[in-house]
Amino acid sequence: MTQNIYIICPPKKATGGPEALHQLGYILNSLGYNAKMLYSKYKKDPIHPFYKDYDVPYVMKVKDSINNVIIIPESMTNLIAKYPLSQKKIWWLSLDFYEILMNSREKKKNWIRKLIVPYKHTEYRFEPNQNVTHWYQSQRTKEFLLTKKLDNKIAYLCDYVTELFFDNLPESFQKENIITYNPKKGLEKIEKYMMLLPQYKWQPLSGMSREEMRDTLRKAKLHIDFGYFPGRDKIPREALVSGVCLLTGRDGTSAFKEDLGIPEKYKLHENEMQPENVVKLINHLMTNHAEVFTEFSDFRLFVMNEKARMIENTKMLFEKA
């Protein structure tokens, strides 16, 4: 019997998680499987414009069946109970959103709903279930899952930097004195350096089309991210492909060399973030960009091969299924 594969995804959302889910649908269909997006809420035209090129068909609801494989991001594990017959694959694209969104859903329930729907049937807390398999995207998540008693072996599956960042990728980049940052992450830690280093152009990566972001990164020398890394974050990987050096903190997955394999000296502990130390590092990275970027080449190559690795890992996961 042919398997029907459904990938649960929030509609109209443009973040790293939904993109990874669409990438998986695209790869599965290119391998000859029958994969569809299953959007979690009804919206007219639920596909975000960024993901239309993945060309994955979608449905708004499915009938539970033993012939279904349902892929569920860790942020929506409350939906496990909705499909008792289907095989369920939880893809951990972040560790933190599991707890955050689970707690948020519990708080939103009124007392009548809590009385009618038993607690254990609404949220997943690693109850024994032969129909549930776990995939991890990061080493940090792998180590977390290994502390749990699970019915099936865990497996690695990571997304990739979208092809747009590889289009007409130059062998050498014409760099300018630009430092990029994500204003939604760790901005309060970066603002002081904008004041201390006004000789550089500080460019927030917001309010841009994907093409504008790619073109900005190709001109930038340095991307700074002192924020929290819930998973293997996309922008730092897109920056590496675009010839940009990285300077980060060590919160979340960034602490793990398997997840962010840049030189350790460019991943700062909290007690290393004295202004004089950070200013010296930024100046070093900006002044010696061409030379310093060679230190990032190993992890850049790893990132550039992510799509090929995801295709191979997807094949293995579904040949076993």
Taking the C-alpha atoms of residue 33 and residue 25, their distance in angstroms, rounded to an integer, is 9
Cβ-based neighbours of 301, under 8 Å, separated by 6 or more: none
- Per-residue model confidence as pLDDT tens digits over 226-275: 999 999 999 999 999 999 999 999 999 999 999 999 999 999 999 999 99
In 34-99, beta strands by DSSP E: 35-39, 58-59, 68-73, 87-92
Asked if 277 and 266 touch (Cβ cutoff 8 Å), the reply is: no
Q: What is the pTM of this model?
A: 0.92
pLDDT of 117 > 70? The answer is no
- Per-residue model confidence as pLDDT tens digits over 102-112: 878 777 766 55
- Please name the residue that has the structure tokens 């019997």: 1
Band of the pLDDT at 8, cuts 50, 70, 90? very high
pLDDT of residue 250: 96
Asked if 229 and 260 touch (Cβ cutoff 8 Å), the reply is: yes
Phi, psi of 58 (to 5 degrees): -140, 160
